[in-house]
Amino acid sequence: MNEKDAKQYVFKFECSQNWDDLKITDNEKVRHCGQCGNDVFSVQTDEELNSNAEKGRCVYVPPMRTAGIPWMPDESEKL
């Protein structure tokens, strides 16, 4: 993917919880947060991110997917 094709996402909320500290579930791509009570879904692709965001789910985006992408809130484009 070249820089022109790169997508940037803006999130409404950035959680302070660490993926590695969340409770492991039967699904390796889902962990449970004891602090808020929500399941957190690990996403690897834009499609997974969009699908989970449309459902209002909490998502975990691995660091290598977000390296170099600034977190810049924009009220009109928040997921």
**Does some domain include residue 61?**
yes
Lookup result for tokens 């889902």: 30
**Does some domain include residue 14?**
no
**Does some domain include residue 57?**
yes
CA-closest candidate to residue 38, choices 15, 65, 61, 10: 15
Q: Over pLDDT 70: what percentage of the chain?
A: 70
**Does some domain include residue 76?**
no
- Higher pLDDT: 46 or 59? It is 59
48-72 mean pLDDT: 77
**Does some domain include residue 46?**
yes
- Higher pLDDT: 65 or 21? It is 21
**Does some domain include residue 37?**
yes
Q: Say how many domains are in the chain.
A: 1
**Does some domain include residue 77?**
no
CA-closest candidate to residue 55, choices 64, 44, 67, 43: 43
Predicted confidence at residue 5, as pLDDT, reads 56
Q: What are phi and psi of 7, to 5 degrees?
A: -100, 145
Please say whether the beta carbons of 49 and 61 come within 8 A.
Answer: yes
Domain that holds residue 58: 19-66
**Does some domain include residue 54?**
yes
